[in-house]
Each structure stands twice: as structure tokens, then as C-alpha cells.
Structure 1
Amino acid sequence: MMAWLSPYGHLQDLGYETICVHPYPASFYNRHNIYPQIGFSRFIDIREFSPGDKDGQYTGDIAIANKVRDIISSVIEKPLFIFCITMENHGPLHLESPRDGDEDLFYATGIPDSCRDLTVYMRHLMNADHMAGMIRDTLGRGPRGGIFAWYGDHVPIMPSVYRQMGTPESLTDGFIWRTQASADTCSIARSARITSMGVECLGAEIIRLLPSGRVADPEIRVSAASAGIP
């Protein structure tokens, strides 16, 4: 595959610095060979993170937010595109145990012991929310602003939880947010294909986030935002 056939290669042609951040070995799925061919000028993998960046089994989302902040502050001469593949709440979740106080933090009443994976996932999801806020703040403080898009590729793998509570729809959430808000922005949540998210970021009107926005594969229901992320 040639870089000019991909949207990332097109961004390179437009003068963007294109960077992928994935805190896992770059050789996994042969990404270290494939990503340069589809238009990424740099791949930041597990080697640029430390063991202290872990939260659970993998590099935590807070470390990702800090890495994004550092990249944005270091690339000032060119427009910048960063693609992050996070790991913290990837699982398998059953290899971790809930921490003291987690159940009191996330639930009004106790839950069955078979749902311990859900408690682990909730802690990581809380950190993902913190990551989103940190990236939002980084973009908001910068002189050039930016667009922040986020989507999930699949629901969490928690078979013991689903046996107890039922299997969820294979849907995940997504949103698009930008620092520049127009005076006539409004709220919307709608369905679209995941492949259209880049078009939404670059060409469509970006509007206020709705918490009900959902994403499906290959369908994606995108919430767009021009105000703060809760």
C-alpha cells in the first residue's frame, strides 16, 4: 500500500507531521513496517514509556495524555496529526483485581463476585475520562487550537459479567470536539460510518457533545462537540 492512497499520506502531502502513539511493541501486527507505508512519519511505541507509566497491565491513559501534550508542545513549525491507540482498558480484565475502595466509588450497592471484571474496567474507564479532559485542556491552552476525535473499536471483553447481566450490543461511544466554536453551534448525535470520521473532523460542522452518542462497527454514531467534555 502506498502512502498516497491513505488519508494519513494525504495529510503528509498537505505538510502535516503525522505521528502514531501506541504503548505496545511496534512490531505487533507488523505495525512498524505498515504504518510508515500508510503515511505516518513517526511511530511512538512502548520504548518511549516507562514501567512507572503503567496502570494495571498496560501503559496508562494518563501517560498517553502527557505524551500528547509533549508532542504538541514540541511540534510548532508544522500542522500536526496524532493518532493514539490506547491500551489501559484493553484487557483481559480478569487478570487484574479490584482495588480497595473501588466498589464504593463506582456502585451504590454491592455487585456479584462474578462482576469483578466490571469494577476493574470502571477504574480504567475513569482514567480514560481523565485522559480526554487532559487532551481537551492541552488543545484549549494552545495558540493554534485543534480537533479531538475519539472512538472505541469494540465493547470490553467481560464474559463473566455478561453471563450475569446479559450481553450488550456491540456498540461503542465516539465523539468529535474542537476548540473553535461558532456562534450557531447546536447539539446532535447521529449515525455514520467509522470511515467518515476523518471527513467529519476536517470538513463538517463540529457541534456540541451529547452523552448519548454511540459508535458501532462498521457503523458509528458520532457525537460532535464544540464545548467542554464532561
Structure 2
Amino acid sequence: AFLRADNEFVTIAHALAAAGYATWSAHPYKRGFWNRAVLHPRYGFARSLFARELGPGPKIAWGLADDAFFDRALAAIAEGPRPFFGFLITLSVHHPYESFPDERKVLELGRLEGTATGNYLHGMRAMDAAVAGLFADLEARGLADHTLVAIYGDHDARLGASPEVLALAGIPRWTPAVPALIERVPVFIVPAGGELHGEVDRVGSLVDVAPTLLHLLGVATPGSFIGQPLLPGPGPDLGVAAYADGSALAADHLYVAGGREIGRRGACFTASGGDPRPLEECHALASAAAALLAASRAVVDFDLARALAEGGE
């Protein structure tokens, strides 16, 4: 956020701006947090809305409640030129989940009530309602049939591998593979018109979200992007999701680079259940992840995005 803030970034916002989209970002918190006021223009956003622009209102956790945030952000964006690309960063469901407003509670959580996990579940229920309100607002404004909506998390819930989390995730017991297995985020893509087409069972990571959206919008993916579109297909799933620590996930295997009860050379598991496998079965996966991470870091550390996007080597 600060170390490479003067890079010449190439993002989905740049690609869509070049295709004629108005680009917006919005986040109901301090504009200086994670250097967003500096970075968002460099990320290609022509206009940004932060706490000051969005104004005061009902709060959950760190900032403006998601339903109020969606209402205000969409109202501003919808008044601007079209087509538009809006990047909305919500804040209500964010650790440490120390509390949740009693008047907004809907769920009966029993022994989880008052715990971090319980507050997280209350927050997610509120998020669900806020998302439903967002779609209703798009419909009311006549935008639903012309708007593709993508919803994803930027990192996991930071709740750890507690017994209640494992139970909610349907994991019967802790194993050394569990921390990597539960480090997942949801990605929902709703095409214009709102028709859902089911689950795409492909391995991917956050670097694949932008290429997927650009593909669906018919916009060329910049050459500096590392990810690939997450699309259904008849062939085998060859996707690799690389973790920052060198761990990696593929369709059949999970390589864990380090952690509790993990050896110095890492460990290999099945991707589905986390059952141990010989380390040799993960050598190719570990190498693929290392190459992806090295390429990604080189693009940022040596400011290569612009050159690669323009066809450089």
C-alpha cells in the first residue's frame, strides 16, 4: 500500500476505462487507510467515495452499515455517466467481530451468541440482506438488466481453526491441512439480468477474478495480468491457486509450505479431504506456485505492469 505506491499499475479499472466505462471506487472508512486516497487514482479510478463523501449513518463494526453504504454509493454512481464500473469495499463484516448491534440480530445462535464466530454470522446475515437490497435497488433504477455484479472476499474471516469453525465448515477434525483448506473466499458472479447458472467447480484465486469479469464483458485482458478466466469447460481443471507463503492448491492436491506439524520441506495432502500424501506428489504443484509468486512479485517490485500490458517482455 505504501512501498510501491508510485508504480504504474494496470488494473481492471484501467482496462474498463479504456473501453469507455466510468470508474468509481467506494469505501466507508478513512481515505488514508491502506493509502487508498493515493492508490485508487493510480489503480484507475476516476472518482472515489470515502467516509467523508458518504457521510454519517448507522454503523456496524468499523464503519457505515453495508445496506446504507450500498444505498449511498449506488445513488452517486447511478447519477454519473454510463456504462460504469463500481468497486465497492464493504466494512460491516470485518474482524475482530467484537460486537453486533442487538437491534439488527435475526439469527438464534445459542452457545455461539456473543462470540466472535456468532458476531460474524450475524454480520453475514446482515450482509445477505444488504446484497438483496442492492439487487432490488438496481432493479428499481432500471439497471439490473445491464449490470454484471461480482461479490467476493479479499481474505478469509480470520476466525482461525476453532472447533466451532470446523463444525460450521463440515470438517470433522483438525489436521495439518486444515489452515490451508479453510483459507477460502467466496466469489459470486451474477450476469446482467440476474439469471444464475450454478456453480463453476474450478480451482482459482483472487488473481483470476478480474480476467473472468473482463472475459464476460468482452474486454481484452491486459498482458500484465497473471490470472485466467474461471469458466466451465469439458477439459481437466488445470488451475493452481498459490498462497503467499508458497502453499498451493490444485484440483487433486494441496501443498502446504509450513505451519503446525508441517516439516521443513512442506507437506502434501489431498485437496478434497486433507489426507496425507507422499511429498513427491506435490513437487510439480509447489514449483508452479513458486513460479506464479515470483512472476507476481517481479511485476510489482520492478514496476513491470505497464510494459507487459503494452506488449513488452
Shorter-chain TM-score above 0.5: yes
Structure 1 unaligned blocks of 5 or more? 208-215, 221-230
Cα deviation, 1:46-68, whole Å, max 9, x if unaligned, reads: 11234423123421111122023
Distance in 2 (alpha carbons) for counterparts of 1:171 and 1:18: 28
- The residue number in structure 1 matching 2:148 is 147
Distance in 1 (alpha carbons) for counterparts of 2:207 and 2:14: 16
Match of 1:2 among 8, 12, 19: 8
- 1:105 equivalenced with 2:107 (yes/no): yes
Which amino acid letter does the alignment assign opposite residue 199 of structure 1?
P
Distance in 2 (alpha carbons) for counterparts of 1:97 and 1:197: 30
Which amino acid letter does the alignment assign opposite residue 106 of structure 1?
E
- The residue number in structure 2 matching 1:211 is none
Query: Residue 172 of structure 1 aligns to a residue in which SS?
Result: coil
- 1:198 equivalenced with 2:210 (yes/no): yes
Q: Alpha-carbon deviation of 1:200?
A: 2.2
Distance in 2 (alpha carbons) for counterparts of 1:17 and 1:140: 20
Q: Aligned pair in 2 of structure 1 residues 111, 199: CA closer, same or farther (>3 Å)?
A: same
Number of matched pairs: 203
Q: Alpha-carbon deviation of 1:201?
A: 2.3
Q: Alpha-carbon deviation of 1:23?
A: 0.9
- 1:127 equivalenced with 2:126 (yes/no): yes
- 1:31 equivalenced with 2:33 (yes/no): no
Distance in 1 (alpha carbons) for counterparts of 2:189 and 2:117: 26
Q: Alpha-carbon deviation of 1:132?
A: 1.3
- The residue number in structure 1 matching 2:254 is none
Q: Is the 8 A contact 2:150 2:188 kept in 1?
A: yes
Q: Alpha-carbon deviation of 1:82?
A: 0.4
- The residue number in structure 2 matching 1:68 is 73
Q: Is the 8 A contact 1:153 1:217 kept in 2?
A: no
Structure 1 stretch 19-28 or stretch 43-52: which is displaced more? 43-52
Identical columns (%) = 23
Distance in 2 (alpha carbons) for counterparts of 1:100 and 1:78: 37
Q: Aligned pair in 2 of structure 1 residues 68, 57: CA closer, same or farther (>3 Å)?
A: closer
Q: Is the 8 A contact 1:18 1:40 kept in 2?
A: yes
Query: Residue 213 of structure 2 aligns to a residue in which SS?
Result: helix
- 1:172 equivalenced with 2:178 (yes/no): no
Query: Residue 201 of structure 2 aligns to a residue in which SS?
Result: strand
Cα deviation, 1:57-100, whole Å, max 9, x if unaligned, reads: 4211111220233034302x331000011111112113x26737
Distance in 2 (alpha carbons) for counterparts of 1:44 and 1:217: 32
Cα deviation, 1:152-182, whole Å, max 9, x if unaligned, reads: 12222235x8255546611121110023368
Which has the larger share of strand?
A: 1
Task: Flag the structure with larger Rg.
Answer: 2
- The residue number in structure 2 matching 1:212 is none
Q: Aligned pair in 2 of structure 1 residues 145, 68: CA closer, same or farther (>3 Å)?
A: farther
Which amino acid letter does the alignment assign opposite residue 131 of structure 1?
A
Distance in 1 (alpha carbons) for counterparts of 2:18 and 2:103: 51
Q: Aligned pair in 2 of structure 1 residues 177, 164: CA closer, same or farther (>3 Å)?
A: closer
Distance in 2 (alpha carbons) for counterparts of 1:190 and 1:150: 17
Q: Is the 8 A contact 2:61 2:91 kept in 1?
A: no
- The residue number in structure 2 matching 1:213 is none
- The residue number in structure 1 matching 2:91 is 87
TM-score by length of 2: 0.56
Q: Alpha-carbon deviation of 1:43?
A: 1.3
Match of 1:187 among 198, 216, 224: 198
